[in-house]
């Protein structure tokens, strides 16, 4: 039933249903004018993009910090401690994605976004002030602090991304896909070179010494970005889509799973594979480059790391440009193929390639760029488009959380793989994940177009009614029973579902 509805929706985005729903530029409700809603949508898109730069910064902050701490504390900062501190962010993100995913569906996008901002700032302050009776105690405080930051940044994924998608659908529905990518994955990807740039500036200001000052300042700067857009976040409104389709009580999770099980397998599985490869290769890329460079300084490692991050960025723009023309599903499979190609090139010729550092950086950067081009761009976009508004945050959060679980497992397994199989095997395994990613995407990920998100909302509402769910949907100004206001074009679909 769900698959039949999905395919029908995809084949006729300009159907009678779309015409019956009406134009998106009508006044949202008697209480909110179109002008006020449009201004709020602009606030939301701007704040989401700028906040996700902060998340990208936090995700990549340990890349160079790991190199720095290993030199400052060569005996205390062991591989086990490094992995623990790096994984703390991931564990926090998994918890944040699930909890905030639920929160932004129950309590609203705005409430969730304000909460995640405060968590990032609190964790950043604690990380900056990390102290302990012993050095190991300091690292434990850093671990806890990074976990709090992770809870906030993890919560940003469902909260900011769903908000950006819904706002873009109201503001510029025909360009929603490219607009969504440019305010979500671009800031997240830009966070890598941005974090390295800040690190190099602070390192130079400290005359390439005073390492404790360097990493504390870098942690502290991470608090500035979320605070800088806090005003816009408290001024935003929930989207029209949310105020019409929110399910705040008696969420029919059983029906949600029946309707979306196949799509959930696709987004969760593909995200797990993507993060399993990309996150450890991001966190430990500074360590990898340092080992390839040899006797280079921390600054030289940082400069190569900056080049690596810059090479990875064009994939984001190319994916945004082609997502509507080529199709989301095809783009994602092409990106996973990039893991196969460049992973095998580096893995099979590791000893030869690493002797030429610029060549190694280029191939490494192209592998990461293909990840940005395909799954990096499309997973967030597909996860925001595939699910109805009432459960979008929950399903998006679950998908992203499974992805971050893959990142945590990949980070935990990275050094054992290097030590037991060899450094080249981290790239060969990336190639294997690319093959599996293509298979998962082909069989489980829906091939969506850029249709109005309201179309999917109405199909989901009709499905709930067909299964005799009679709860209320929406917020005060647009609240109605599930069976109220269903477009006549879905009448036959409801009757067919009741008879199945």
Give the chain's end-to-end CA distance (angstroms, integer).
8
357 inside domain:
yes
426 inside domain:
yes
Q: Number of helices (H) and strands (E), helices first, in the chain?
A: 24, 2
Q: Centre a 10 Å sphere on the Cβ of residue 211 and count the other Cβ atoms it contains.
A: 17
- What is the phi/psi pair of residue 338, to 5°? -60, -40
15 inside domain:
no
Domain span at residue 64 reads 25-238+245-451
- As given in the structure block, the two tokens for residue 314 are 């064009």
Residues 389, 453 contacting (CB under 8 angstroms): yes
Closest CA relative to residue 154, chosen from 234, 90, 250: 90
217 inside domain:
yes
219/159 Cα distance (integer angstroms): 23
- Supply the pLDDT for residue 83: 82
184 inside domain:
yes
Measured CA to CA in angstroms, residue 227 lies from 146, 189, 394, 433, 453 at distances of 18, 20, 26, 37, 31
Q: b or e along 63-82 (b: 16 or more beta carbons within 10 Å of the residue's beta carbon)?
A: bbbbbbbbebbeeebeeebb
140/466 Cα distance (integer angstroms): 53
- Supply the pLDDT for residue 8: 38
- Supply the pLDDT for residue 496: 65
141 inside domain:
yes
CA 5 to chain centre: 27
- Supply the pLDDT for residue 382: 93
CATH code where residue 59 lies: 1.20.1250.20
DSSP SS3 for 480:
strand
- As given in the structure block, the two tokens for residue 21 are 């729903």
Angle of CA points 73, 425, 334, to nearest 5° = 115
308/121 Cα distance (integer angstroms): 28
180 inside domain:
yes
- As given in the structure block, the two tokens for residue 98 are 């699930």
- As given in the structure block, the two tokens for residue 458 are 């109405």
Q: Centre a 10 Å sphere on the Cβ of residue 263 and count the other Cβ atoms it contains.
A: 22
- Supply the pLDDT for residue 5: 43
Give the contacts of 232 (CB within 8 A, at least 6 positions apart).
43, 46, 47
486/43 Cα distance (integer angstroms): 30
211 inside domain:
yes
CA 257 to chain centre: 22
- In the chain, the number of structural domains is 1
List the chain pLDDT tens, one digit each, 500 residues.
444 444 433 434 445 666 665 555 555 556 666 777 777 788 788 777 777 777 788 877 887 788 888 888 888 888 888 888 888 988 898 899 999 988 888 888 888 888 888 999 999 999 998 888 888 899 999 999 999 999 998 888 888 888 888 888 877 778 888 888 988 888 888 877 888 888 888 888 887 778 888 889 988 888 888 888 788 778 787 788 888 888 888 889 999 999 999 999 999 999 999 999 887 877 667 667 777 776 667 777 777 778 888 888 899 999 999 998 899 999 999 999 999 999 999 888 988 888 888 888 888 889 989 999 999 999 999 999 999 999 999 999 999 999 988 988 888 888 888 888 888 898 999 999 999 999 999 999 998 877 888 888 888 988 888 888 888 888 776 777 777 767 766 666 666 666 66
- Supply the pLDDT for residue 373: 93
- Supply the pLDDT for residue 399: 94
């Amino acid at each position: 039933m769900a698959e039949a509805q999905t395919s029908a929706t995809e084949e006729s985005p300009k159907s009678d249903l779309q015409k019956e729903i009406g134009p998106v530029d009508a006044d949202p409700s008697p209480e909110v004018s179109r002008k006020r809603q449009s201004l709020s949508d602009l606030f939301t898109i701007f704040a989401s993009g700028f906040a996700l730069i902060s998340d990208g910064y936090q995700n990549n902050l340990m890349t160079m910090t790991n190199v720095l701490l290993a030199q400052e504390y060569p005996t205390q900062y062991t591989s086990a401690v490094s992995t623990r501190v790096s994984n703390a962010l991931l564990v926090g993100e998994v918890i944040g994605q699930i909890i905030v995913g639920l929160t932004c569906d129950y309590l609203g996008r705005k409430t969730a976004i304000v909460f995640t901002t405060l968590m990032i700032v609190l964790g950043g302050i604690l990380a900056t002030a990390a102290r302990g009776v012993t050095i190991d105690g300091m690292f434990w405080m850093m671990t806890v602090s990074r976990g709090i930051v992770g809870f906030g940044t993890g919560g940003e994924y469902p909260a900011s991304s769903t908000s950006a998608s819904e706002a873009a659908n109201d503001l510029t529905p025909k360009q929603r896909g490219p607009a969504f990518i440019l305010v979500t994955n671009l800031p997240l990807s830009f966070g890598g070179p941005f974090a390295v740039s800040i690190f190099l500036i602070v390192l130079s200001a400290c005359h390439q010494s005073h390492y404790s000052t360097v990493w504390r300042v870098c942690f502290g700067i991470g608090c500035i970005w979320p605070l800088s857009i806090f005003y816009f976040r408290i001024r935003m409104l929930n989207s029209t889509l949310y105020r019409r389709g929110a399910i705040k009580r008696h969420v029919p999770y059983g029906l949600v799973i029946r309707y979306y099980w196949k799509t959930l397998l696709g987004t969760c599985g593909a995200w797990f594979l993507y993060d399993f490869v990309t996150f450890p290769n991001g966190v430990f890329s500074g360590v990898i480059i340092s080992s390839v460079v040899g006797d280079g300084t921390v600054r030289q490692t940082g400069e190569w790391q900056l080049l690596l991050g810059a090479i990875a960025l064009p994939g984001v723009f190319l994916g945004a440009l082609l997502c509507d023309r080529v199709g989301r599903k095809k783009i994602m499979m092409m990106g996973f193929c990039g893991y196969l190609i460049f992973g095998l090139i580096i893995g099979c010729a590791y000893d030869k390639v690493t002797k030429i550092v610029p060549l190694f950086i280029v191939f490494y950067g192209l592998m990461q760029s293909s990840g940005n081009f395909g799954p990096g761009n499309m997973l967030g976009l597909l996860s925001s488009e595939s699910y109805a508004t009432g459960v979008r945050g929950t399903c998006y959060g679950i998908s992203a959380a499974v992805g971050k679980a893959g990142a945590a497992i990949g980070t935990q397994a990275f050094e054992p793989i290097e030590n037991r199989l060899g450094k080249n095997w981290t790239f060969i395994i990336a190639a294997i994940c690319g093959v599996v990613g293509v298979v998962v995407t082909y069989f489980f990920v829906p091939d969506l177009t850029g249709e109005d998100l309201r179309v999917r909302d109405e199909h989901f509402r009709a499905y709930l009614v067909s299964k005799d769910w009679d709860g209320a949907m929406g917020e005060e100004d647009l609240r109605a029973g599930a069976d109220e206001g269903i477009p006549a074009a879905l009448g036959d679909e409801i009757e067919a579902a009741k008879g199945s």
